[in-house]
Each structure stands twice: as structure tokens, then as C-alpha cells.
Amino acid sequence: MTKYGFLGLGIMGNGMAANLVKAGYDVTVWNRSPVKCASLVAQGAKQAKTPEAVTASCDITFAMLADPEAAREVCFGPEGALAGIGEGRGYVDMSTVDEETVKAIAISITTAGGRFLESPVSGSKKPAMDGTLVILSAGDESLYKDAIPAFQLMGKMSSSLKKTGQAARMKLVVNMIMGSMMTALSEGVALCRKSGLNEFQLLEVLSNGALASPMVKGKMPTMLDGVFPTNFPLKHMQKDMRLAVSLGDRLSQPLPTAAAANELFKAARKAGLSDEDFAAVFKILS
């Protein structure tokens, strides 16, 4: 049976790794804060002291890290994942990062004799727990095929975009749209409230019209209640908006709506909302 490694047990990674453990696979986990490994170890996972120890002992290692800096540090740092790679072992980075980071990691992993796949995901805490993420992959096709059994436990869909860097771009486009939609929804709800209209009637209208979507159904009630349980931290959304706008700059593609949305998320971070759900951007407007 394939031995899996998992690096990074935050809001997303914990649920994703748990699905592998629950399926009966041999799973070795690591996290910067070791205490986050405890629940998975209790379910049957093994715990390693370093990323190197994980990649050296596993056939395929998945990494789910917060940002480009964390992805680079875990891979390239002392006793990092790169040090344990070799002999065709696979490294699947599922973090949302820029393509430059993806390509730097890909080159290093393959040069060391390993196989690399970038596989950022679309979804948040609950889909991660439920195994219903959308997984976007690019890179080594043999590793993609070998990882499919794990992907089927973590997601409802996986897609191969072939060329390394393309999955990173696709994920940034997806999150850029989602972040822009959230700021537009926030402005609409704020205007509804200021106009003296019934906010719950607005929710009913949106839920039954052309704008009906899981985001409206899932996020608007939290906005109306004023309670924002963290499924996708606002700081991560702002990071993704920043990376998307930066990609647009490099490609000379105007992104006026995304740029404005990014500024609103930046204001929300300055207001101390970084660790709340990204829907808490509504607080800046309400």
C-alpha cells in the first residue's frame, strides 16, 4: 500500500490528511506546531520531527502550506522536504502560491531525483473535511496518476492542466473572482441595510435568481448574523488577491475590479480581521 506523507495541518491540511488516515492508509504527518499532529496521531497517523523525515519515508508527500514563503521554507530549509526526496518519490504541493515558487520547487525536486506535482485546491474548511475539494494539478503525469487514489479521498474533482505553473495561475484566477464577488456582495448588503430594505428578503431574492450560488447561500447568512466562523482566513484571501493582481501586472492585463477588492481586503487586515473568515471584509463596509 502506498505510504503518504502530509506537511501542514492548518485549517485545510488537517481535514485533508484525516481523510487519508480514515481510509486506512499509512500516513506520516508533520506540522510546524507539533501539537496539531495530535488528533491525527490518535486516529492512527505517524508523526515525524522534520519534513525531511516525511519525504524520505513516504512514496508521495503532500504539502498544504499558508503562502509562498512557507512553501519555500518547508521545502528548502534545514531538514526540509527537499533533503529527503529521491528515487522517484513524489512531492505534491497543494498550497496556493505564485508560479515562480512552484517552478523553483519543481526544478529542485526533479533535480534531486524526485517527481513533482502542483495541486492547489478550490474549497475551504468544510470541503476539506468532507473530501469535496476541487483539485487543480500540473506537472509529472505519472505522479498525477499515482496520486489519484488520494485525490479521490480529498476531492470531488481533480483535473490535470499539464504544464507546471498553470495550476497556480488557474487557482489565482478562481480566488480572484471569489474575492471580488465577496466584496461586491458586501457592498450590496451594506447598501441594502442603509436603504432600509429587508436584508433577509435580499437573501431570498439572490438565492432564487441568476446570482444564486453556494457563496451567497453560505456566506450571506453569516454577514447578516455578524458571526464569521473561519473557514478560509481573510489574510489568505488577501494574499491570493495580491498574487493575482501581481500576475496581471506581469501580463499587462488590467484588473481594476480585483485591484479595488484587494485594497478592501488590505483595509480589513489593517482593522485586525486577518484571522476571521474572508466574509468578514463586510465589517469594513457595514
For the annotated catalytic residues, the residue numbers are 171
Whole-angstrom Cα distance, residue 65 to residue 57?
Answer: 20
What type of residue is 80?
G
Residue 258 corresponds to which cell in the numbers above? 480585483
- Any idea how long the chain is? 286
φ, ψ of residue 276 to 5 degrees: the values are -85, 170
Contacts of 56 (CB under 8 A, 6+ apart): 83, 84, 85
Location of C-alpha cell 498525477: 144
